[in-house]
Every structure is written in C-alpha cells, then in structure tokens.
Amino acid sequence: MNTQALIDTAKALVADNKGLLAMDESSSTCRKRFVEQGIEDTEEMRRAYRELLITTPRLAESVSGLILFDETIHQAKKDGTPFIDLIRQAGMIPGIKVDLGAKPLAGHPGETVTEGLDGLRKRLEDYFKLGARFAKWRGVITIGDGIPSDAGIAVNAHALARYAALCQEVGLVPIVEPEVLMDGNHSLARCTEVTEQVLHAVFTELNAQGVLLEGMLLKPNMVTSGTDSAEQASVEAVAAATINTLLLCVPAAVPGIAFLSGGQSAELASAHLNDMHQGRSLPWAVTFSYGRALQQPALSAWNGEPANVEVAQQALAHRAACNRAACQGAYNTGMERS
Ligand code: 13P
C-alpha cells in the first residue's frame, strides 16, 4: 500500500473548498431519472448526458473529482476522447462506484445489505489501471418500525470496511458512504440517534479491519427530519444536529466529509452545507458529494435536447459554484437570483 499517495489523493479531493460530483447512477437509476423527465433512455443518450456533465466549462473551479459508473468510465466524448482523459485534462480526479447495489437482507424485512465484495479486488485493480484514483460504496439504512436492527447496521458496516481495506490495498481512496435514508416520518431526534449508531459501527469496523483513516473520506447523510414528518427541522437545526453527530463519531484523522444530498432540493442542500460553516471550527474538511442536488437543474434544462447543452452546463456550473461558496459559509439565496 502506498500510504502517502492515498493521503495525498484524499486531501486533494477536499482541498480548496471544492467538492465532488456524484454522477454514478446505475443504468437503471439513470433510466428512472430520464423517464421522470420524459427523456428517451438509450446508451447513447446516457453517454451524451455524461459528456455534457464532464465537459461543463469551469466545473473544475468548484469540483475536485467525479464519481463515475462502470458504463461511463468506459465511454468517450463524441470525438473519441475517453471520459477519463477529459476529466484528468480538466484537472479533476476520476472515481468509480464499485458496489453492486443494496439487496434485501435475509431474515430482516425492510432492510438491505450492499453486495459486490466477491471479485472486488480484481475489479478495483482494473479500475486503477483505467485511471480511477478513488472509489465509492454505499450502504443503505432505512428508519422504520423496529428498524434498523443491530444486524442490519453490523453487516453494512462490515461490508463498508472490507471494501475500504481492499481499495487501499490497490491504491484507491475509499469513499465510505453509509446512507441513513430520509424516507419516513421520523423526527430529527430519531435520525440523530440512528446516524450516530451507524457511524459508530462503521468506524469500529474500519478500525478493526485496519483501514487507514487518513487515506479515506466519509460520505454520510445529513441529519434531517424524515421526508414525511409533519415537523421539518430548520436549516440551523439540521446543520447543528449533523455537525454534533459527526463530532461524536468521526475521528479527526479523517481528512474530509463529503455529504450526499439524499433527495433534498438543490437549494436546501446548499443552505444546509452553508450553515455548517457558520462560526464553527471543524477538524475535517466538510464539503459536498451531491448527485441529484448538483445534477437535477442541469438534467431538467437539458431535457434530452442537443440545443440545450449550454444552458444545462450553466445550471451545473452554477450549482457547483453555490456549493463551493457554501463550503466557505458564503452562500446566500441572492446567488440563486443572479
Ligand atoms: P444524492 O446526492 O442524489 O443522494 O446522490 C449521492 C450519491 O452518491 C448516492 O449514492
């Protein structure tokens, strides 16, 4: 293991208040997003959409790295230039989602475990050779009646740590993503409790399996009220609950925390991140690794039409700039009007 290279990459991914663009939707998730928008779902349309994202002018001013899906890492621009080369030429770091999705956990209705450990070492070696320098694995935790169970949390934490250790052996920085879903009518307090339990379990496993904390990044959910809860916590309450939970659970040796957006609107995801940076001195870089909250305005603007590529790219560059400002506590709703 080249420890210093891992540390350098992990630091570079969260340097200068930049964040990550998660564009690693599986083909089936991408199809879902296209269908919602009335966009035809073909391999060529997915390629064209990913080309739009990757070639967005000035994206690298706010984004340090891009998380790709297996299909995308093998694709190229219309002129034949591999996406991986375009990303590196723009000064960004290519990454790859390597889990194979959350599957029902035997004997635990309503819970899942993420699969993909079998054969993972070889797949990671292949991605490294292709040029990827970091990876991502998402464990999914649902809050509901009697769940998550201790077993549901334990198996996901164990898999995340096994994945992370394999990544580091191969030279890829692991992004460890335990996502407590926003779905449900739970309170902010319940999300706080579950997120804390999950993060404790994850770091216990990471330590037990010898993962180098300095050479990884954490990609957690923010602590929020459930989407269907009648009482929605304020921006300030979400930021405070999130940071307090992370301070309890995440060692300062971890160089960065990069949030998922989890279904929050683009503007709310920026506002929450911004508030975390008000008057706080934090032990880690705290930034974004959003999928929908970065892409949705661009996807809507594009709508599958080549004539809309430029305006869609402007929408993506704008969201990225808003979130970079949020990482400095300098985001405000006036930025949306301009
Ligand atoms: P969202 O920001 O849309 O939650 O996506 C982030 C991600 O990478 C999910 O795994």
pLDDT in tens, 112-154: 999 999 999 999 999 999 999 999 999 999 999 999 999 999 9
Question: For 92-101, b where at least 16 C-beta lie within 10 A, e where not — what string?
Answer: bbbbbbbbbe
Q: What is the mean pLDDT of the chain?
A: 98
- Report the pLDDT value the prediction gives residue 270, as an integer from 0 to 100: 98
Q: β-strands 19-22, 285-290: how paired?
A: parallel
CA of residue 140 relative to chain centroid, distance: 13
193 is catalytic: no
Ligand 1 touching residue 223 (CB < 6 A): no
Total number of residues shown for the chain: 338
Question: Cβ(216)–Cβ(174) under 8 Å?
Answer: yes
52 pLDDT band, cuts 50/70/90, is very high
* DSSP string covering 294-328: HHHHHHHHHTT-GGGHHHHHHHHHHHHHHHHHHTT
- Report the pLDDT value the prediction gives residue 337, as an integer from 0 to 100: 80
Ligand 1 touching residue 259 (CB < 6 A): no
Ligand 1 touching residue 331 (CB < 6 A): no
Q: Quick check: 233 pLDDT over 80?
A: yes
- Report the pLDDT value the prediction gives residue 48, as an integer from 0 to 100: 98
Mean pLDDT along residues 231-256:
98
Query: What pLDDT, in 10s, does the model give residues 143-184?
Result: 999 999 999 999 999 999 999 999 999 999 999 999 999 999
Question: Cβ(92)–Cβ(15) under 8 Å?
Answer: no
Q: Quick check: 185 pLDDT over 80?
A: yes
Single pTM value for the model: 0.98
Mean pLDDT along residues 303-314:
98
Ligand 1 center from residue 284 Cα (angstroms)? 20
Ligand 1 center from residue 22 Cα (angstroms)? 6
Please give the structure tokens belonging to residue 49.
């959409």
Ligand 1 center from residue 61 Cα (angstroms)? 21
129 is catalytic: no
Catalytic residue among 25, 111, 177, 179: 177
Question: For 229-255, b where at least 16 C-beta lie within 10 A, e where not — what string?
Answer: beeebeeeebbbbbbebbeebbeeebb
d(C-alpha 314, C-alpha 309), whole Å: 9
Termini Cα distance of the chain: 47
- Report the pLDDT value the prediction gives residue 1, as an integer from 0 to 100: 77
Ligand 1 probe mutation, 288, 292, 295, 319, most atoms within 8 A of CB: 292
| All structural domains of the chain | 3-337 (3.20.20.70)
Q: Quick check: 338 pLDDT over 70?
A: no
Instruction: Give the closest residue (by CA) to ligand 1 atom 5.
Output: 291
Q: What percent of the chain has pLDDT over 70?
A: 100
Query: What is the maximal distance between C-alpha atoms in the chain?
Result: 53
Ligand 1 touching residue 292 (CB < 6 A): yes
Q: β-strands 93-97, 102-104: how paired?
A: unpaired
Question: For 36-67, b where at least 16 C-beta lie within 10 A, e where not — what string?
Answer: eeebebeeeebbbbbbbbbbbeebbebbbbbb
Query: What pLDDT, in 10s, does the model give residues 33-51?
Result: 999 999 999 999 999 999 9
Ligand 1 center from residue 260 Cα (angstroms)? 5
Query: What pLDDT, in 10s, does the model give residues 252-303?
Result: 999 999 999 999 999 999 999 999 999 999 999 999 999 999 999 999 999 9
